[in-house]
Amino acid sequence: MSNDLLIYRGIRFSLLSFFVLFSALSCQNNNKDSGEDPEIRVEIDSSFHAMNPMNLQFDSAEQVMIDSGMADLLDAYKAIRAYNLPNSTPPAIQFNPLPYGFKVPEPTPRMEWEIPEGVSMPNWGADLAFMSIPELASLIHSGEISCLALTEFFLNRLKKYDPQLHCVVTLTEEYAIEQAKKMDAELAAGKDRGILHGIPYGAKDLFSFPGYPTTWGARAYNEQILDEKAGIIQKLENSGAILVAKTTLGALAMGDVWFADTTRNPWNLKEGSSGSSAGSASATAAGLLPFAIGTETWGSIVSPATRCGTTGLRPTYGRVTRSGAMALSWSMDKVGSICRSATDCAIVFDAIRGLDPSDKTLIDAGFTYPGKVNLSDLRIGYFKSAFDSEYGVSRFDKQTLRVLKKLGADLIPVELESDELPYYAMSIILEAEAAAAFDELTRSNRDTMLVRQHRYAWPNLFRTARYITAVEYIQAMRIRHDLIEDYNRRLKEFDVVVIPSFQGGDHLLATNLTGHPVVVVPNGFKDSGSPTSISFLGNLFDEATILAVAAAYQEASSFHQKRPPKFNRTD
C-alpha cells in the first residue's frame, strides 16, 4: 500500500482541497440548535479558513441560505457516525480499471507446474533456505524432506534472525505444525495439491487469520483478533502452502515503522526495509521464507522489493482477492507476491488469482505463463526520457537495457506521461479513501497511538483529508478516467515497457491509479551494499508476459541469486 514516497512528497494538493461546503458558512452563524453535534460543529467552525485557498466567493444572502441548509447535513452526519462501519465494509461504488473496448482474457484453469526431478537435499542449511519454490517442491515430492521438517526449518530461521530484522509480528507456529503434518499425511495417502504443497510462507499482517492477532502494524490494533480467514490465505491453503508467520508492515500500511520497531534491510541493517510490505520483503530476502504476500496501494511492493533485492509482482487491480484484508483505499489496494524470482512469483500468482465470493471487485481472467520467451518476438518499449536522465542508480538501469538488447530485445522509445494530466493531484483519491477507512480512529483520538506523528504521517493525513470535498474527490476520479484511457493508448502498442522503478515522474502513482501490473526485480547493488531494481510494466491482465520477460532478464543477470552475507549461514 502507501510507501515512503507518500511521506516525503507530502500533500501539497490536499492542503488546498478543503471542505468547501463547510467553508461557505457565514461567520455570523450563531445557531444554538440543541440537536447539533458539537464535534461536527467544531469541524464546521474550524473550516472557515478554507475559503481563501479555494477562492470561492458567496455573497451574504447565499451564505445565509447555505447556513440554513446545514441542519439537514448535520442530521445526516450524526446518523452516519452513529452507524457501525468496520474497516471491512466497502463502499457501494466500485472502481473499474477497464478502458473502453478492452477485452479481458478468457478464464483459464490453474496451470500444471512442472516439479523438477533429481534435486538433492543440500548439505548446508543456507542453501536450503535460498532454494526456489520448484526446488523445494522437488525435495518434498521426492521424500528428501518432509513438509514438517521444512516448516520447522523456516520457523527456526525466523526465530533466529527476527531479532536482527524485526520482520515478524506473529509466528503462526501451532497452526503451521498442524498443517505441515496434514500435508505430509496427504502425500502419503496419494493426495497431491501441486507445486506449493508443503511450502511455508508469510503474509503481511493486514490479512485476518482466526486465532492470531491481526495488528495492521499499529499499536491501536495490536491486540485485534479477527475471526475470519482472509481469502488469499484460504487460496494458498487450498494449494497446500503453509502459513508460518504474519510479517510486519508500517503502521496502517505506510513505511517500515510498526508499533514495536523498524523492519530492517537484510543487506544493510542500518537501513529500514522500506514499506509497507516491509517484513514480507525483508524475510524473503534473508532466506527466512520461500515467499511472502504483500499489498500495494502506492509502491508498497515495489519499494520494499527494491530495498531488499527481492522480486515483487503487483498484479492488475481486481486480479487477487482482498477479502479479509485491511482496507486503505478500496479503489487502489492490490495484493501480490514477494519472492526471489519472477518464476516463483508466477507460481504464487497462479495460486492466488481468481474469483472469491467475498470480494465483488474481482474480474475472472486467464493466466498462462509461457516460461522462456524470445525477446526478439516481443514489442518491448522503454521509458526514454526517464532513462535519458541522470540519477543515483541510472548506471544500473542503463546496464539493464544493454542486457535486454543482448537478449534480442528491440527496444522502442515510449513516453508515459502527458503534460495535461495532473498526476500527483489525483493522490487525494487515496487520501480521502484512507481517511474514510480510518474515520473512527481519527474521531476517537486513538490515532495518537501511532508511532509516527508528523506532518506527512497517517494521523495528520487522515485529519487533513477531512477537508477534501466530495466534489473534488469526484473530479479527481473523473480525471482518473482520462488517465486510464491515456495509459491504455500508450501501452497497448507494447507487450512490455521497461521503466526505472522510481525515476521519471509520477508513473508509480499513475500505474497504481490505472491498475496496471508491474514486476520489479533487482538489477545491481549500490556502494552501501543495498540493492537497486528495475521494473517491467505490462498491459492489464497480462502478468504472464512481464513475468516471462523478467525471468529472462534474471537468467542473464543473476542478481536475484545473490544472498545477504549476514544471513547466508548454516543454522
Claim to verify: residue 398 and residue 267 sit in the same structural domain: yes
> Which of 1, 551, 563, 59 minimizes the C-alpha distance to 311?
551
CATH of the domain at 332: 3.90.1300.10
Claim to verify: residue 368 and residue 272 sit in the same structural domain: yes
Q: Label each residue of 406-458 as H, E or C.
A: HCCCCEEEECCCCCCCCCHHHHHHHHHHHHHHCHHHHHCCHHHHCCCCCCCCH
Pure H helices in 33-84: 38-45, 51-54, 60-68, 70-82
pLDDT of residue 63: 83
pLDDT single digits (tens) 37-70? 555 544 544 444 444 456 678 888 888 888 888 8
> Which of 26, 125, 71, 93 minimizes the C-alpha distance to 436?
93
pLDDT of residue 516: 98
In a domain, 395, yes or no: yes
Claim to verify: residue 265 and residue 202 sit in the same structural domain: yes
Find out whether 301 and 294 touch, Cβ atoms under 8 Å: yes
pLDDT of residue 46: 45
Buried b (16+ CB within 10 A) or exposed e, 58-85: eeeeebeebbeebeeebeebeeeeeeee
pLDDT of residue 64: 85
Q: Measured on CA atoms in the order 431, 434, 439, 445, is the torsion positive or negative?
A: negative
Q: Please give the C-alpha separations between residue 97 and each of 319, 429, 438, in angstroms, as whole numbers.
A: 11, 15, 24
Claim to verify: residue 172 and residue 307 sit in the same structural domain: yes
- Grid coordinates representing 364? 475472472
In a domain, 441, yes or no: no
In a domain, 453, yes or no: no
In a domain, 152, yes or no: yes
In a domain, 377, yes or no: yes
In a domain, 373, yes or no: yes
13 confidence band (pLDDT: 50, 70, 90): very low
Cα–Cα distance between 409 and 415 in angstroms, integer? 18
| pTM for this predicted structure | 0.92
pLDDT single digits (tens) 168-217? 999 999 999 999 999 999 999 999 999 999 999 999 999 999 999 999 99
Total domains in the chain come to 2
In a domain, 197, yes or no: yes
Claim to verify: residue 69 and residue 196 sit in the same structural domain: no
pLDDT single digits (tens) 203-255? 999 999 999 999 999 999 999 999 999 999 999 999 999 999 999 999 999 99
- Grid coordinates representing 86? 468496520
State the residue range of the domain holding 411: 125-420+476-567
- Grid coordinates representing 558? 543473476
Claim to verify: residue 291 and residue 415 sit in the same structural domain: yes
Query: Lowest-confidence range among 74-88, 316-330, 476-490?
Result: 74-88
In a domain, 435, yes or no: no
Claim to verify: residue 35 and residue 145 sit in the same structural domain: no
Q: Please give the C-alpha separations between residue 285 and each of 166, 167, 279, 411, 440, in angstroms, as whole numbers.
A: 13, 11, 10, 30, 36
